[in-house]
Chain A
Amino acid sequence: MSEILQVKNLKLYYSTKKGVVKAVDNISFALNKGETLAVVGESGCGKSSMAIALMRLLPRNVNTYQGSIIVDNEDISKLDEKTLRERILWRKISMVFQGAMNSLNPVLKIGFQIAEALLEHDKRLSKKEALAIAKKSLELVRLPEFIADRYPHELSGGMKQRVVIAMALVLNPQIVILDEPTSALDVITQANIINLLKRLKNEKGLSYIFITHDLAVASELADRVVVMYGGKIVEYGNAEQIYATPKHPYTQKLIASIPTLRSDKTLEFIPGAPPDLIDPPPGCRFHPRCPYAMDICRVEEPPLLTASNGKVACWLYKGDIVE
């Protein structure tokens, strides 16, 4: 499989009054064509920051923004803002934002809101043509054409979420970042949207980066899984391996904490709180909560080791390295 996106040593730090927040701290991964990479972790672990770093949609208080983002053999982090916006964003890589369905403009018709992106990206397009394409994209997300003439308040949550997905797909990107696309929806609507995302992926050969805190929902789409903790990747591997034989103690505990409906298990929880990203603990960031913490964990940060399946950043697997 060919790699459509490569991320190398990505860093995104914010300046705040209290100090520098290391939200994304030196992470590297790759996304294959037609594959879904799920990024999972608890709130505040840097998942959403990673997404906005990929799209270069940075807030004002950025302290450090580094690393290379290679889309189709082109390092987009080297491009200037204008070229990036004209050639890459929304055309090659697009995003469904968290809670985007609540940010639709209440006074504009749905059709126009979708067409707006088209008009902005292609100055030669007439308004009529753009609207026609917008209606086509509604069809793609299984909404009837007349929705284009409706206002957001006339739609249900599930329909609005479909509109937001249509917006992300209107310029035919290859990579779509989905930031918690179902977290505000009811279970039945959620299942509907997930089914839609599965179909779109197969029809259009899309590659997803699927950001979620819910490992059960992640399993609905994920081919591979990245587990983040405290701004770092702690484990990275195939979905089968991550769910069946998680290596990192954090991943193990996280999976043990998900309630299951169809099977019985004793739920575990992780005592303690996620690390402070301004002043993270020395060594491994998980060591204060880790049941297997050793001396070295408190001092030296574990590198992302290539273990027998996938990659893991944990000293426990030091002897297990393949390369």
Chain B
Amino acid sequence: MSNKTILQVENLKVWFPIKRLFKTPLYAKAVDGVSFNLLKGESLALVGESGCGKTTLGKTCLRLIEPTFGRLIYDGRDITHLSGKDLKWYRREAQMIYQDPFSSFNPFFPVRRILEEPLIVNGVKSKEERINRIQEALQEVKLLPIEDFINKFPHMLSGGQRQRLAIARALILRPKFIVADEPVSMLDASVRVEILYLLKELQISQGISFLYITHDIATVKYFSDRMAVMYSGKIVELGEIRKVITSHLHPYTEALIEAIPDPDPNNRNVERKVIPGEPQNPVAWPPGCRFHPRCPYAMDICRVEEPPMNEVESGHQVACWLRIKK
């Protein structure tokens, strides 16, 4: 592993048991064999439809969910089964920004308490230092002037301000790795861009690595460096953003991109090309390539054998039989 990698995910599987009376349990295979490297200071976007396992993968990377199989290596250290004090160390290193800025705060805590809590839990004893750190964090997310915000309660803030507070809370322990799960999807268009720019700024100025989980490919281009497309618990395509958007290799990526409109009044005169079907059931994935029931190019081999991840050109990987030369 190169020392440029901050998080290495190796064949990660997260299976949730579905218990059945007197029968062996079934498993919902939310994440089913995912490998990738997150580089230091990079922003990697994880895109896919709901139910494809992207949030589960994000939470597992933070060790909020126990992995079933596979390994997680953070900064050269195996964190797959950390516990106790070591896990607490990882909790400081890695943080999360949640989707919903309206329900991720305790409504009875003022801003100061929201930001102070993680410091107290992590043993910052001096009150002075805590206040300094809180002010620093508010400064970083530009909730200014600080005196106006520090005593406010979450309900007194707008959506954009709350999301800034969520970012401040993630930053307060000075993490090196942040999982941002749909951080802008509940915000208005005019505010969305502001928050994306703020995250980008933090990525560059503080060298924080981001795993940006989203279903909105249009925003990805403005915040991330690389993009991984997930389908049915697997990564099907991974590469540099522009490569994936303009010369995508997987039929699913093509379908996703095709489905997204750009603001153009000519759209109303044409129908959008849409693939048939719905995402598959995580309890019983189809055999072979999981996308084959919906794929317009499906061949015989796709129905039988699962395509391996294959590097087509440097840094651009895809799992599709169409791209494997025999």
Contact = CB atoms under 8 A, between A and B. Distances in A.
Interface of A: 36, 42-43, 156, 158, 186-192, 194-195, 198-199, 213-223, 238-240, 242-244, 253-255, 257-263, 267-271, 273-274
Interface stretch (B72-80, B255-263, B304-312): B255-263
Given A186-B49, A269-B194, A273-B160, A263 B262 contact: yes
A259 B219 contact: yes
The secondary structure that dominates the B interface is: helix
B274 interface: yes
Interface in B29-54: 49-50
B4 interface: no
B82 interface: no
Contacts of A194: 261, 272
A36 B269 CA distance: 12
Given A216-B261, A270-B190, 10 more contacts: A189-B278, A213-B188, A219-B262, A219-B267, A220-B267, A240-B265, A259-B216, A261-B217, A269-B192, A273-B160
Interface residues of B, number: 40
13 contacts: A191-B259, A191-B261, A191-B272, A192-B274, A194-B261, A195-B271, A217-B261, A219-B264, A257-B189, A259-B221, A261-B218, A261-B257, A267-B222
Interface in B241-277: 245, 255-265, 267-268, 271-272, 274-275
Contacts, number: 123
Nearest to A41: B188
Contact of A261 (B158, B196, B260, B278): B260
B222 A259 contact: yes
A257 B160 contact: no
A261 B262 contact: yes
Nearest to B220: A259
B160 A239 contact: no
Contacts of B197: 267, 269
B131 interface: no
Nearest to A188: B259
B193 A267 contact: yes
B265 A239 contact: yes
Interface string B193-228: 110110000000000000000011111011000000
B191 interface: yes
Given A42-B189, A186-B49, A254-B189, A222 B265 contact: yes
A262 B262 contact: yes
Nearest to B276: A192
Contacts of A43: 159, 188
